[in-house]
Amino acid sequence: MKAKWLSVVLIFMMIMVLMPQNMASAAEGSTRQIPSGGTTSIRTNGPAVPGAPSKTQPEFRSEVEEGGGNNEVVSVDRPRPEFKWKHGIFPRQPLDAPKVRSSKVANLNPELQLGFDALNHFDQRFGANNGNQFSLEPPDQGLCVGNGYVVEAVNSAIQVWDTSGNDLTGVGDLNTFFGFSAAIDRANYPADGTVGPNVIDPVCYYDPENQRFVVAITTLHVEDTYPFDYTGKNTIDVAVSNSGDPTSDWTIYHVPAQNDGSDGTPNHGCTLDGATPGPCFQDYPHIGADKYGVYITTNEYDLFGPSYNAAQIFAFSKNELAAHPASINLTLVENLHLAGTPGWTVWPAISPAGQYSRDANGTEYFLSTIAGDGSETGNPTGTARYIGLWALTNTKSLDSASPTLSYKSQVVHSQTYVVPPTADQKVGDLPMRDCLNDTSDLFDVGLGCWWIFLDPPTTWQPEVASHPDSGDSRMQQVYYVNGMLWGAAGTAVNVGNAIKAGIAWFAVDPGMDRRGNLYGNVRNQGYLALAKNNLTYPAIAMGANGKGVIAFTVLGEDYYPSAGYVTINAWGMVGPIHIAGQGLGPDDGFTGYKAFVGDPPRTRWGDYGAAVIDGKDVWIASEYIGQTCDYETWLYGDLTCDGTRTAFGNWGTYISKVRP
């Protein structure tokens, strides 16, 4: 009898391991008051006059601050969480890249209504705040559209156009927009107080019900004196327009987010070295909204230490933000977990006007993936056949004095996805590479072009064409419409008998039952790939009419980095690849070269794109290369190729309006 009972138990345990995990996690949010930081506007102080860089002036923030690089706080080998195959959601060994048929490329773009060059590296470095900026890669992408306006924010600049593509503001810098001192005061450097905080990862949302624009960032604060080290304090900074006109006034709120018990934050136990208490850091913020709230999710790491903690949700009342009072409620939903593993890049959904879930007194849905490289999720394979489905419930309570929120999560079986490879590039002019490889006597005996940037090297390391980062397999932008949740992620694909970067997209049918349990399944899914080329950093947006767009960057043997898209409908029918913004040359930025970032280099690209709905139109923004010039033109033209790039980078962004 005992043996029979034991057999039943073992069978039950095997079923529980192999079936999708439907366990729900719940946590009530803690709420505190955040005072207004005052009002602001997009201020343009005129462009600086570009010229050859000075070796007495820092060009990269990492040169003046202890620790991180341009967008990464500390370069450490983070330990991987315990490998938890027992949950049944991680494969025992790496899965093969899915074999995918190549898409066709359309000859015509009948859906493309408008396209224009938006912010680029020259704008970011020289066009904003009299050039009191650092050179940054990647730009990242915050886009929101509504009420006849188009707002784009990148690292670390912002600009507004009308919906015909006419510039309305010029280029503003994010430091002063959020009420901080300039990134660097080049006229007085290195005098005290001449380097401002590090503002990163901008995101943007348009609230159609209240006609408000919301821009949010993460900010790492610095000491007032040289060498301007990070203090440990970091904030989630939120700016909301006071009206439907983003060229006018905005109100700012600075939310302390170091979560070490200071400034009213909870203590999440982050450390300096795995043992000594230290501040946490909110990385990779992303924004979504339902009928009642605006939600910013982050990935929380030790700021100076080795560990990853978990994803966090910063929740705000949509109506309260729109009223921009003297103080607002911030509800923090802490330390999200999925089937016993830390939540990672839990991306909140955006919806077209009126397309919100009323389940459980208001529900905001999220999607995530579970592959990664193991340092956050605990999955060492970089592959998976499950995605994460999340629900934040009782969001109507955000309009009360004491909001009570809870989250639930479950894993959902999906198609295979795999961390993608870096992308190759079509051969073209790379003037910065050629300069770094110039061993002539251009300036003096043995002082070639490289001497513009560097002191004489102790060893010579020839530079080669870079391979832009394709990201990892984390979930990218998420849309909720007509009761369906749409998302996309990067993946490796086997296309044309070669491993390239491609896209996996998902349509998930979520819901809450009468007992408050979350349920859902993948209703439709598919892949995008292009033989001999790579598709990177997808962004998906679906309209209430059942028509949508997936935007991405196209690059490889046939294409310089270009802004591309496909149309998709509610039944999962995907059209051919369209090239909205044709790339003109290869990426030639500083993060691709050993001389600046070490060996091996990591060519930073994108991190995320953007796609948003405005009526029947889908607006998309992707990183691309909109310029090219040869070495001689670059060298003898102020290293800017007639103002189309800078000495250190040539990334650009392209904004398109598509009517699918």
Q: What is the pLDDT of residues 521-552, one digit of tens each?
A: 999 999 999 999 999 999 999 999 999 999 99
| Type and span of the H or E element at 550 | strand 547-556
**Cis peptide bond upstream of 138, omega within 30:** yes
Q: What whole-number distance in Å separates Cα of residue 108 and Cα of residue 481?
A: 28
Answer yes or no: is pLDDT of 596 > 90: yes
Q: Which of 22-31, 369-378, 628-637 has the lowest mean pLDDT?
A: 22-31
**Would 577 be classed as within a structural domain?**
yes
Largest CA distance in the chain: 92
Q: Which has more pLDDT, 81 or 156? A: 156
Any idea which of 202-206, 428-432, 604-608 has the lowest mean pLDDT? Answer: 604-608
User: How many structural domains does the chain have?
Assistant: 1
**CA-wise closest residue to 303 among 62, 137, 76:** 76
**Per-residue pLDDT at 19 exceeds 70:** no
- Tell me if 43 is assigned to some domain: yes
Q: Which domain holds residue 347?
A: 27-52+74-430+465-658
Nearest to 62 by CA among 587, 590, 632: 590
Find, among 657, 617, 653, the residue nearest to 158 by Cα: 653
In a domain? residue 447: no
For the chain, give the percent of residues with pLDDT over 70.
Answer: 92
User: For residue 243, is it within any domain?
Assistant: yes
pLDDT at 262: 97
| Mean pLDDT within 257-275 | 96
Provide the whole-model pTM: 0.94
DSSP 431: H
Q: How many helices (H) and strands (E) does the chain have?
A: 7, 30
Give whole-number Cα distances, 308 to 27, 77, 522, 529, in Å. 19, 11, 29, 32
Q: Give the pLDDT band of residue 592 (cuts 50, 70, 90).
A: very high
Higher pLDDT pick, 82 / 398: 398
Q: What is the pLDDT of residues 172-190, one digit of tens each?
A: 999 999 999 999 999 999 8
Torsion from C-alpha of 484, 488, 491, 495, nearest 10 degrees: 80
User: HSE-up of 45 (CA within 13 Å, CB side)?
Assistant: 18
Q: Give the torsion sign (CA, 399, 400, 402, 403).
A: negative
Per-residue pLDDT reduced to its tens digit, 333-379? 999 999 989 999 999 999 999 999 999 999 999 999 999 877 898 89
Classify residue 420: in a domain, yes or no: yes
What mean pLDDT is predicted for residues 114-131? Answer: 96
Beta carbons of 111 and 658 less than 8 angstroms apart: yes
pLDDT at position 11: 36
Cβ neighbours of residue 93 closer than 8 Å, sequence gap 6 or more: 381
- Take residue 9 and report the two structure tokens written for it: 């138990």
- Residue % of the chain over a pLDDT of 90: 83
Over residues 56-67, mean pLDDT: 75
Q: What average pLDDT does the structure give for the chain?
A: 91
Q: Flag whether 16 is in a domain.
A: no
In a domain, 351, yes or no: yes
φ, ψ at 259 (rounded to 5°): 50, 45
Asked whether residue 418 is domain-assigned, the answer is yes
pLDDT at 3: 45
